[in-house]
Amino acid sequence: MTKTRNQKQYTIQGTILNQNKKPVKGVLIRATDLDPQTSEKLIGGHVYTDEKGKYIITFRESDFRTRDRKKVPT
């Protein structure tokens, strides 16, 4: 986690491997906020795994501000 322009920046990273523990290139990775009080929201965009199966998604604290979101219909 780093700070940019007074906002915290967060990182989700990982590696995708197949059943033989070999890296998988080109897998679409998305991170979503699944807060039950708000609509699902994509955070940090989407990325694809590289040739080593690695991915990194970064997003800001502002991606979680609930005042910008609509309530989930009940």
Q: How many domains does the chain have?
A: 1
Residues 61, 65: Cα–Cα separation, whole Å? 7
| Structural domain includes residue 70 | no
pLDDT in tens, 53-63: 999 999 887 77
Domain of 30 in residue numbering reads as 2-65
Q: Does residue 71 lie within any of the structural domains?
A: no
Residue 57 lies inside a defined structural domain of this protein: yes
Give bridge partners of residue 62 from the DSSP assignment: none
User: Does the residue 74 lie in any domain?
Assistant: no
54-60/7-15 β-pairing? antiparallel
Tens of pLDDT, residues 18-36: 999 999 999 999 988 776 6
In a domain, 10, yes or no: yes
Residue 67 or residue 58, greater confidence: 58
